[in-house]
């Protein structure tokens, strides 16, 4: 009996965005399987953040297409993509600094029209280890805890796809172990796209890895395949 091939959750074809002469994203064909942890890596300036900005709708491509579970979302604005299940945590924290920790997450819960705001907010905070800090003003948190708060805001959206852009930046080693356990607990209900420079974390956590270089895909494969890829070694990992 033939194996059933599951349709991609996200699929891009010929995705392109240039800034003058800079080819930030240059004809990228990419697919993300439902329920996987997929890492996106590459040198600084490779186009990683621009690419996920196209996936989330923060930028629109000059050409190419993006499909979410078969639906064309190429021209859909970011807020509409959130409603369809795409959540994006930023490389630089994007919280409401003067609101309480609780209110930051409650706003995310309310944005999807969910009932039981208090219960869902407390659950999201507990999941990232911020229980007990609900009343604290967000800007008074450490940088690492602000990153975790942003992650709680993303989880509160109950996303089908969670895009994490440099999520461990500012986290202590002990917090990184907790982060890995949290991400593993999300799948297969949530698909995770991880943009990260911590290669130990990437190799330990990712099911598949895609390497971007100069706006193009250099390689896609398992962690073992990426480690062994000569072109990836030369461009990014080093011999």
What's the mean pLDDT in 143-153? 89
Question: To the nearest whole percent, how much of the chain has pLDDT over 70?
Answer: 95
What pLDDT does 219 receive?
95
How do the domains of the chain map onto residue ranges?
Answer: 95-157
Residue 156 has pLDDT above 50, yes or no: yes
Local confidence band at 4 (pLDDT 50, 70, 90 cut-offs): very low
pLDDT tens across 191-204, in order? 999 999 899 999 99
- Identify which of 209, 148, 156 has the alpha carbon closest to the alpha carbon of residue 174: 148
Does a cis peptide bond (omega within 30 degrees of 0) precede residue 188? yes
Q: What is the mean pLDDT of residues 36-54?
A: 93
Under the banding of pLDDT at 50, 70 and 90, the label for residue 93 is low
* pTM for the structure as a whole: 0.89
Is it the case that residue 51 has pLDDT exceeding 80? Answer: yes
Residue of 155 and 3 predicted with greater confidence: 155
Residue 105 is predicted with a pLDDT of 95
- Rounded to whole angstroms, the Cα distance separating 226 from 67 reads 26
Identify the band that residue 172 occupies on the pLDDT scale cut at 50, 70 and 90.
Answer: confident
- The angle formed by the CA atoms of residues 201, 204 and 210, to the nearest 5 degrees, is 80
Is the pLDDT reported for residue 40 higher than 80? Answer: yes
| DSSP conformation letters of 192-216 | EEEE-S-HHHHHHH-SEEEEEETTE
Using CA atoms of 28, 33, 35, 41 in order, give the dihedral in degrees to the nearest 10: -30
> Region 117-126: what's the mean pLDDT?
94
* Section 50-57 average pLDDT: 95
pLDDT (0 to 100) of residue 235: 81
Provide DSSP, 148-196.
HHHHHHHHHT--SEEEEESTTTT--HHHHHHHHHHHHHHTTTSEEEEE-
Most confident of 21-25, 29-33, 79-83, 194-198: 29-33
Give mean pLDDT, residues 112-139. 91
Segment 205-212 mean pLDDT = 96
The pLDDT confidence band at residue 238, using thresholds 50, 70 and 90, is low
Q: Yes or no: say if 85 and 78 are a contact pair by the CB < 8 Å rule.
A: no
Q: Is the pLDDT of residue 221 over 90?
A: yes
Residue 123 DSSP code? H
Give pLDDT, residue 3: 45
Q: What share of the chain is helix, strand, coil (3-state, %, to 5)?
A: 35, 25, 35
Does position 170 have pLDDT exceeding 90, yes or no? no
Quick one: pLDDT at residue 37? Answer: 97
Helix (H, G, I), strand (E, B) or coil at 16: strand
């Amino acid at each position: 009996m033939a194996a059933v091939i599951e349709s991609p959750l996200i699929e891009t074809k010929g995705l392109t965005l240039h800034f003058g002469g800079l080819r930030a994203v240059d004809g990228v064909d990419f697919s993300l399987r439902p329920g996987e942890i997929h890492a996106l890596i590459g040198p600084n300036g490779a186009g990683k953040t621009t690419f996920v900005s196209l996936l989330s709708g923060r930028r629109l491509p000059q050409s190419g297409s993006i499909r979410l579970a078969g639906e064309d979302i190429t021209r859909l604005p970011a807020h509409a993509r959130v409603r369809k299940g795409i959540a994006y945590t930023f490389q630089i924290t994007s919280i409401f600094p003067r609101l309480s920790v609780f209110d930051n997450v409650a706003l995310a819960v309310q944005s999807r029209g969910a009932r039981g705001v208090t219960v869902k907010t407390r659950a999201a905070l507990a999941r990232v280890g911020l229980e007990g800090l609900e009343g604290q003003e967000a800007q008074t948190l450490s940088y690492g805890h602000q990153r975790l708060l942003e992650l709680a805001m993303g989880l509160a959206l109950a996303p089908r796809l969670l895009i994490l852009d440099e999520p461990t930046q500012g986290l202590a080693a002990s917090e990184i172990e907790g982060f890995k356990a949290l991400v593993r607990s999300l799948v297969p209900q949530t698909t995770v796209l991880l943009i990260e420079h911590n290669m130990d974390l990437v190799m330990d956590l990712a099911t598949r890895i895609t390497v971007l270089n100069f706006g193009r895909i250099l390689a896609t494969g398992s962690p073992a395949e990426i480690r062994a890829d000569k072109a990836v070694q030369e461009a990014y990992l080093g011999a």
